[in-house]
A and B are shown apart, each in its own frame.
Chain A
Amino acid sequence: MSEQVAFQHIEKKSLIGTRIKKPDAPAKAIGKTRYINDMVLPQMLYAKILHAGRPHAEIVSIDTSEAEKLAGVYAVITAKDVPDLKLGFVKDNAPLKGKVRCERDEVAAVAAESEAIAAAALKLIKVVYKDLPGVFSPEDGLKEGAPIIQERFPDNKSLRFEFKHGDLEQAEKDSDIILDDEFNVHYVTHCCMGTSCAIADFDHNGKLTIYSQTQYPYNYKMDLAPALGIDPGDIRVIQPPTGGSFGAKLDVYPFEPVAAILAQKTGRPVKILFDREEEFINSPTRQPAKMHVRTGCTKDGVLTFRSADVLMDNGAYTSWGPTVPVIMMRTVSGHYRVPVVDFKGQAVYTNNAYAGSFRGYGNVQMTYATAQHMDMLAEKLYDDYGLDPIAFRLKNAQESGEVTPQKSFLRECAFAECITTAADASDYVNKLKKYTAERATDDRYKRGIGLASSIHNAGGAKIHKSDGCGTMLKVDDYARVTVITGASEIGQGIDAVIAQIVSEELGVPVEHVTLVNNDSDLGPWDVGVHASRTTFIAGNGARRAAIKAKKQILAAAAKQANVTADELDLRGGYVVQDKDGAVVIKLDRMLRQMHFQPVPDVVMVSDYYEPNSEPEGKDHISDHSAAYSHAVHIAEVIVDTYTGEVKVEKVTMAQDVGRVINRMGLEAQMEGGLAFGLGFALSEEMLFEKGHLKNPSFRDYKVPTAPDMPELDIHFIESDCAEGPYGAKGIAELPTIVIAPAIANAVYNATGIRFFNPPMTPEKVAHAIWDKKRTAS
């Protein structure tokens, strides 16, 4: 075989933009993957947590004696066992609570031989509560004399964000049209298929190994340590395959230290695994927000200002949820050129559930408002001044080289191309006019079309001191490559992307690249999977490491072949002549020759890639991402005006992806991201009554099912980002961000009714139509 090939010439062939299969897909499809949920360690105990099940109360007494006596119970713990341990963004949370501040509050925990015994033991714990009056809305939390949720915050005020740019008063005077509306974005949750799970195991030196679903293994240690009273250096994080994260695993939540405390106490590995109802009640939510948004515009269709006053229900504790204004502030002033901006965001403690990070991170909420305001302005400008709705958008669309009021530098901006591509592909303007005209007919089924767009960070977001990622790469004697990366795989597909990039650089088959990225003792640092950053950051890191390895190999080969290194290349598992692809030597043979010599030359390289972005900074005025990207969605809907059912028939998506890397993974991210936004727009809602979740099941919390998915017409716009790997930008959040307001705009086009409070459930839509008819007659 090798003799035959020796006379061959190997052409240069790029993998970038092709379809690469996700390496773990077959095992997942046939149910062979061993998720963390399936794991059993020798001598492992099972833990269950007693949740308060009431929103606000003093704990008068806890009697655990009966539970402790139950055969098979190894440990029962309460807040008394862990008095000084804190967790959370402002350290206002604890593994176990001495006071109840929300329904999910962890009051006690049991470790036992089986889950059934642990559950039985929970029933034997006697807790006497003294219920306290509760706060169930941010408005009530701000009232004089409102019950205090967190003693450290007696006015119930949690995080606050402000950003001002330009002269608002003057901008208002310069405006011919001013829109003023309140948008109220509801509670939804991630619904990961794999419910929350942790397995904690201490060794005899006091080192904790925690098997975790975390998305940020390195900073996770820093956050988990104070919740355990140990040094972060004494924590090893192992990440077995996880059934989804989407932001839900971007913080430490109480069940994780609880598992570790029980492991410490019993000297055994301890596993906590939520059932679905526990998952609904005890997981973070998306941050709900009441957004008072005002937008000004001249009669020529030039935007003059935007102000946003955002009130957020913090819930009882502070996780990542109330930090979403960090992104809201940027998107409120980005993507369409807004010269004057006034943003205020205030989070208020209540006795409700608390929010975490969630795909779209503040931008799902803000874009729901801004994209509807743009649509409302477009309609008014067309009706009153004859301005074409696409021309209006293009007039205000940001372009390459612009800097936003917050100093986001749009180096490569393809927003205008996204708008025109999607509008042309869907015949937007003609349909918009046609459906507007048809609105007045008596037809039961009304069609509508709606356009929405947004901007999002697409090259990480430097909210930590570093937004970097480490990579170590070795090429062994058989030309097999192992990449140890800091980047986590949570289902998003970095495994395929890194294999593809390394394969591209080293000319080895994709299947010959092995990724190691599930053990914090092995992997170099990475900030975590979030902010649409992993392909951009870890992809750059992997590429840089692979290029180093390539240089080392080619240098050795050049010396041997008596040529210069730049005359050689790596292709198809061979060292070849760059100019004509003539085979010089088989790569594995070359590597063995490098290795087995008096001074061994072994290929083991490393890299730490730090993007060229600026730290977020406390004023939030910085170029915090290495790239920004835009997307446009055009949704086409049919509304049954009798039942209120909204069927999304088709969505045309145009997104600036910089450059397509793995086409298959990219398409999957578009589809999956859209499904998230679809549920948020139409059916998903956590229903709370005085802090109590009334629908903790998939029967009553309605995620979209396969038949709900619309036809998708996806257009990738390639703006060729100078800093991104091969020109790529981060892509994962925009599909979730843009779809909901596109649907809302389409429903408006069909019915003439604006929905400022998602989800647009059949009942809500039917009632609004009925109400409109009744008022008209």
Chain B
Amino acid sequence: MSDIKHYIAPTTLEQALETLALGRVTILSGGTDLTPQVSVGRRHFEDTLMNIRRIEGLSQISMQGDEIRIGGSATVSDIRYHDLIMKYAPLLCETASHFASEQIRNAASIGGNICNASPAGDMIIPLLVLGASVELASWTKGVVQTRRIPLDEFFTGPGKTLRNSNELLAAVIFKKPSADFVGFFRKSGPRPALEISTVSLGIGGEMKEGKFQHVRVAMGAVGPTPLRGRQTEAALEGQKLTRTIIDHAVLAAQQDASPIDDIRATKWYRNHLVAVFTEELLYNVCQN
């Protein structure tokens, strides 16, 4: 039985935030995670179901100064085919093309994918590699207030984030990558479409004079949240990608990962894939 008492679809951010401030609101932003979670009883609907897809400008993708800003309700398809993203962050387009299926990509939003906070959330990995932050908006003292949180601090556990219930993920923002930036994403699963990642991995950095710099490594489905591979980053930072360095990075990556056994894979296989993917992506970086 539905517990929804009100359904609203605001057209301005202010209306949405005011509603959110009243409490007992479920945010609908595509619904591709929400609906199945409700139907299996993992989540329940609050009194008000608020569809944020009609908020003007919330799905916009734009360049602001040296930052790229993706509105919270931009869909995975919006991102995949956006000129700006294709030009400056093709890594995101690449990841988007591996995301679920065409129908789900057309509905699922970036804000939803981030706030669902699945350890296997695909879009989170390249965003971590790009050093993104989230912008949270709320209605405080009669005005719209925003705060920024780096994405790698945002997740606190499976399905848990620092977002307060009165806050809406307004945008995800990252600095325009430099011309030297290279980044790659890899995910695994038994079939090529509609797959929840068994393991996902992203590696990015600037390749300057043969040295790999400002390296960021991100991993999915190998811990309670999507995570930064700090030891791997340390093993790679400022290094030439020699065989020895890559071997060190592979070992470090397995230290960074802390996978568990579940019905999709064993801990052994996840560790194995972390090693395979780290080597594979670093090889791609070398080839680039």
Chain A positions near chain B (C-beta within 8 angstroms) = 116-117, 119-120, 275, 277, 642-643, 645, 682-683, 687, 694-695, 697-700, 702, 704-708, 761-763, 766-767, 770
Tell me the minimal C-beta distance from B260 to chain A in angstroms.
14
Kindly supply a per-residue 1/0 record for chain B positions 1-17, scoring 1 wherever the CB is within 8 Å of any chain A CB and 0 otherwise. Answer: 11000000000000000
Instruction: Pick from B1, B2, B39, B193: contact of A707, CB below 8 A.
Output: B193
Q: Are A707 and B263 in contact (CB under 8 A)?
A: no
Among the 9-residue stretches B176-184, B227-235, B265-273, the one with 4 or more Cβ atoms under 8 Å from chain A is: B265-273
Minimal beta-carbon separation of B205 from chain A (angstroms): 23
Is B143 an interface position by the 8 A CB rule? Answer: no
Q: Which residues of A contact B195 (CB under 8 A)?
A: 702
Q: Are B40 and A763 in contact (CB under 8 A)?
A: no
B276 near A643 (CB under 8 angstroms)? Answer: yes
A687 and B269 form a contact (CB under 8 A): no
What are 28 residue pairs bridging A and B, where the CB atoms are less than 8 Å apart in the complex? A117-B1, A119-B1, A275-B39, A277-B40, A642-B276, A643-B273, A643-B276, A645-B188, A682-B190, A687-B263, A694-B263, A697-B40, A700-B263, A702-B195, A704-B191, A705-B191, A705-B194, A706-B193, A707-B192, A708-B191, A708-B192, A761-B190, A762-B188, A762-B190, A763-B269, A766-B269, A766-B272, A767-B268
B196 proximal to A (CB < 8 A) = yes
Check B196–A767 contact: CB distance below 8 A. no
Q: Which residues does chain A contribute within 8 Å of B280, judged by CB atoms?
A: 642
B264 interfacial contact with A, CB 8 Å: yes
Look across to chain A and name the residue whose beta carbon is closest to the beta carbon of B276: A642
Closest 10 CB pairs of A and B: A705-B193, A707-B192, A763-B269, A116-B1, A642-B276, A683-B190, A694-B263, A707-B193, A762-B190, A708-B191
Task: Write out the residue numbers on chain A whose beta carbons fall within 8 Å of the beta carbon of B273.
Answer: 643
Known contacts A699-B196, A700-B264; decide if A767 and B269 are in contact (CB<8 Å): yes
Which residues of chain B come closer than 8 Å to A698, judged between CB atoms?
Answer: 194
Give Cα A697–Cα B42 distance, bound, in whole angstroms. 14
> Smallest distance from the beta carbon of A70 to chain B beta carbons, Å?
11
**Which residues of the other chain, A, contact B265 by a CB distance below 8 angstroms?**
763
Most buried by B among A119, A642, A704: A642
| Closest chain A residue to B190, Cβ basis | A683
Contacting residues, chain B, for A683 (C-beta < 8 A): 190-191
> Once the chains are docked, how many angstroms separate the CA of A700 from the CA of B120?
14
> 1/0 per position for B147-190, CB-CB distance to A under 8 A?
00000000000000000000000000000000000000000111
Residues of A within 8 A of B1 (CB): 116-117, 119-120
Question: Once the chains bind, are B190 and A645 in contact (CB under 8 Å)?
Answer: yes
A761 to B188, CA, bound (A): 12
Give every chain B residue within 8 A of A119 (Cβ-Cβ): 1
Query: In whole angstroms, what is the CA distance A770 to B101 when docked?
Result: 32
Q: Which of A707, A763, A767, A770 has the most CB of B within 10 A?
A: A763
In the complex the two chains form, what is the Cα distance from A395 to B268 in whole Å? 45
Q: Which residues of A contact B190 (CB under 8 A)?
A: 645, 682-683, 702, 761-762
Identify which of A643, A702, A708, A763 contacts B266 (C-beta below 8 A).
A763
| A761 to B268 CA separation, bound complex (whole angstroms) | 14
| Neighbour of B191 across the interface among A687, A694, A697, A702, CB < 8 A | A702
Q: Closest A-chain residue to B194, C-beta based?
A: A705
State in angstroms the CA–CA spacing of A335 and B177 once bound together. 64
Q: How far is the CA of A695 from the CA of B196 in the complex (A)?
A: 13
Q: Would you list which residues of chain B between 234 and 277 have a CB under 8 Å from chain A?
A: 263-266, 268-269, 272-273, 276
A117-B1, A708-B193 known; 10 new pairs, CB 8 Å cut-off, are: A119-B1, A645-B188, A699-B36, A699-B196, A702-B195, A704-B191, A762-B189, A762-B190, A763-B198, A763-B265
- Residues on the A chain within 8 Å of B39, using CB: 275
Complex Cα distance A46/B5, Å? 24
Give chain A residues whose Cβ lies under 8 Å from the Cβ of B101.
705
Contacts of B268 in A (CB 8 A): 767
- Contacting residues, chain A, for B193 (C-beta < 8 A): 705-708
B185 CB, nearest partner CB in chain A, Å:
15
Tell me the smallest distance from the CB of A679 to a CB of chain B, in Å.
9
CA distance in complex: A348, B269 (Å): 34
Chain B residues with CB under 8 A of A120: 1
Q: Shortest distance in angstroms between B189's beta carbon and chain A's nearest beta carbon?
A: 8
The CA-CA distance from A705 to B100 in the complex, in Å, is: 11
Complex Cα–Cα for A704 and B190 (A): 9
Chain B residues near A275 (CB-CB < 8 A): 39
Question: Are A695 and B263 in contact, CB atoms less than 8 angstroms apart?
Answer: yes
Q: Could you say which of B190, B193, B272 has the most chain A C-beta atoms within 10 Å of its C-beta?
A: B190
The answer to whether A770 touches B272, judged by C-beta atoms less than 8 angstroms apart, is: yes
Chain B proximity of A188: nearest CB distance (Å): 14
Scan residues 20-77 of chain B and give those whose CB is less than 8 A from a CB of chain A: 36, 39-40
Shortest Cβ distance from A251 into chain B, in angstroms? 28
Give chain A residues whose Cβ lies under 8 Å from the Cβ of B189: 762
Note all chain A residues with C-beta closer than 8 A to B266.
Answer: 763
Q: Which residue on chain B has the smallest CB distance to residue A706?
A: B193
Contacting A643 at CB < 8 Å: which of B2, B188, B192, B196? B188
Inter-chain contacts of A700 with B (CB < 8 A): 196, 263-264
The chain A residue with its CB closest to the CB of B193 is A705
How far is it, in angstroms, between the C-alpha of A643 and the C-alpha of B199 when the chains are bound? 11
Could you tell me the distance between the alpha carbons of A501 and B1 in the complex, rounded to whole angstroms?
Answer: 51
